[in-house]
Amino acid sequence: MKSLLSAADLDRAEALAILDTAERMHAVQTREVKKLPPLRGRTVVNLFFEDSTRTRSSFEIAGKWLSADVINVSAKGSSVSKGESLRDTVLTVEAMGVDALVVRHNASGAVARIAQWVSCPVVNAGDGTHEHPTQALLDAYTLRGRLGEFADRHVAIVGDITHSRVARSNVLLLRTLGARVTIVAPPTLMPSGVSSWPCETSWDLDAVLSGKAHGDVDAVMMLRVQRERMSGGYFPTEREYAIGYGLSPERVDVLGEQVPILHPGPMNRGLEISSAAADGVRSVVLGQVQAGVSVRMAVLYRLLAGAEEVGV
């Protein structure tokens, strides 16, 4: 694996290898001294052309816990804001001798293009509405901790599918791992071409959660309504969206006691998810945040240090 640009880049063996490595990396989070030496002397640049808190912070912590030198570059402080082309910016950064680029960009496909320009490994930290492979990996890591094997498991992904890079990556990765996926959204928030995705679709959240439409649900992932990406009226009012597609306390009660609830964050409480769902015993949202560091450590390790056994 030279770079990680899409969840489709991973076959089942490689995906499981990353999850296994992440499990060993997770032990570092409980240590008093949270450091491993594999990337000592390596330099990782987080090149973020779009705002982020969780993703950039977890990549920064992951790199530092592996003893890499981590540099954060944001669009507001880069030459791109002065008119320099994206190509010139990334080639300039690479020319400084960096060992890997972690890139987030608001244009779909931009990270793949960057990977064609540079020779160092590139990790896609989210590109437009396209993909976010490390988010899918940390979601899978969280789910494996609760559900065990993925074979024959049924995961419902609910919400703003059209504007979500998380949804596409999760569908691809979960299918690779053997799970069955149903995406649920109003017709206006189902992306074009969704019929070619390896998943089932539904407009009826209650039917899916109750198991009447597609069989019993083993996990539910709620997606943020991305109002900042919406230029038109995708639904009449926020109240109507919450009534039709929000994970209310009543809908939580329909789920089995062992069904985990995920959300990639940040959450719009009261819109796509209620506080009862976000803070209840079924919620694994904070577990996802913890998994983010372990998984991103595993990805950086496997890209830069090879696939040898991790000594923790």
Share of the chain above pLDDT 70, in %: 95
For residue 296, the model assigns a pLDDT of 98
The per-residue pLDDT for range 56-108, each reduced to its tens digit, is 999 999 999 999 999 999 876 667 767 789 999 999 999 999 999 999 999 99
Our measurement of the distance from residue 228's CA atom to the centroid of its chain's CA atoms, rounded to an integer in Å, reads 19
Question: What is the Cα gyration radius of the chain?
Answer: 19
Alpha-carbon distances, residue 35 vs 39, 123, 257, 305 (angstroms) = 10, 22, 37, 15
| CB contact at 8 A, 50 and 106 | yes
| CB contact at 8 A, 169 and 307 | no
Pairing of strands 200-202, 122-127: unpaired
| CB contact at 8 A, 189 and 253 | no
Q: How many CB atoms lie within 10 A of CB 219?
A: 25
The per-residue pLDDT for range 262-309, each reduced to its tens digit, is 999 999 999 999 999 999 999 999 999 999 999 999 999 999 997 554
pLDDT over 70 (residue 256): yes
The per-residue pLDDT for range 221-241, each reduced to its tens digit, is 999 998 665 556 678 788 999
For residue 113, the model assigns a pLDDT of 97
Distance from C-alpha of 221 to C-alpha of 108, rounded to nearest angstrom: 23
